[in-house]
Amino acid sequence: MEQVTVKQNSSLNIAGKVRDYMMLIKFSLSFMVVFSAVISYLLAPQIPKQGWSWFHVIMLFIGGLLVTGSANAVNQIVEKDTDAMMLRTSKRPVASGRMQPAEAWAFAIITIAAGVFILGYFFNWLSAGLALFSWFVYAYMYTPLKKVSSVSVLLGAVPGALPCLIGWAAGQDELSAGGWVLFAIQFFWQFPHFWAIAWIAHKDYSNAGFKLMPSVEGPTKYSAVQSVIYSLVLIPVGALPYLVGMSGMMSLWIVLAANLLMLWQSIRLYREMEKKAARRVMFTSYIYLPVVLLALLADKIV
């Protein structure tokens, strides 16, 4: 019986450690980030000429996940005290004390090194360099700036959109117009997306000292109108894949419909000024990105 109990406890400890590492890398967020890199890689025009393999898709996914996971780990190490103050983040492994900062640092260093090496070795050093730059900006510029100014959201949108350029560079070995178009879509998408999250969690963020809303007063009409403005900007930006010859007319209409839905939900937030409306913007933004990227890929012009 004692042996069975020891085995059960060992299994529980292993499962708990795996869950902690999944939380440390923010797996759901990291998956979405890497998803955009993989789709951008497949949209790069050289892929049909050279052919692509599942092996390279998997390696891009692994390399991107390691880099993104490392950045998220550094973020949680640096913000462990403020994470502990917020209900939504207090159970994170470093903030809760289940994982020591030294262990998290070791993980972050190993994963960034491995991720950059995978991208450089299996693809090219341009994509690896972009990944390292993205990691640095997110971990060492955006993260500390969150307590200083809402400009951090603008800065944070750069590494948030760089996965598109990383994937494009991995597929084409250069940064041409198509990669920048994808970067622009993901860049502007982040503002209504993130501000909706910040609106919902404003009290938690404010108590922890974060300054993330466009207005110093927090969820105000000014903050809501910023979401409307950036949703409006997405409409012409969303037409760029068609204009540069990346994708066809069908995806143009799908992207337009997605942009109009995002705009409508942002307008509803401005009119209603409630958390319920902010949640609609947030959930619409979660749907928006995969729909747009998959539509562009399905309608890709070879």
Spans of all domains in the chain? 21-174, 176-302
Give the closest residue to 207 by CA, choosing from 292, 147, 157, 279.
147
Spatial neighbors of 114 by CB under 8 A, at least 6 apart, are 63, 66
| 156-167 mean pLDDT | 94
Q: Are 192 and 231 in contact (CB under 8 A)?
A: yes
47: pLDDT strictly greater than 80: no
Q: Confidence band (pLDDT; 50, 70, 90) for 135?
A: very high
pLDDT tens-place string over residues 110-120: 999 999 999 99
Map tokens 């299994």 to a residue: 11
Fold annotation for 176-302: Four Helix Bundle (Hemerythrin (Met), subunit A) (1.20.120)
Work out the angle between the directed axes of helices 275-298 and 177-200 (0-180°, nearest 10). 160
Fold annotation for 21-174: Tetracycline Repressor; domain 2 (1.10.357)
| 202-221 mean pLDDT | 82
pTM above 0.85, yes or no: yes
What was the pLDDT predicted at 219? Answer: 87
Q: Confidence band (pLDDT; 50, 70, 90) for 6?
A: very low
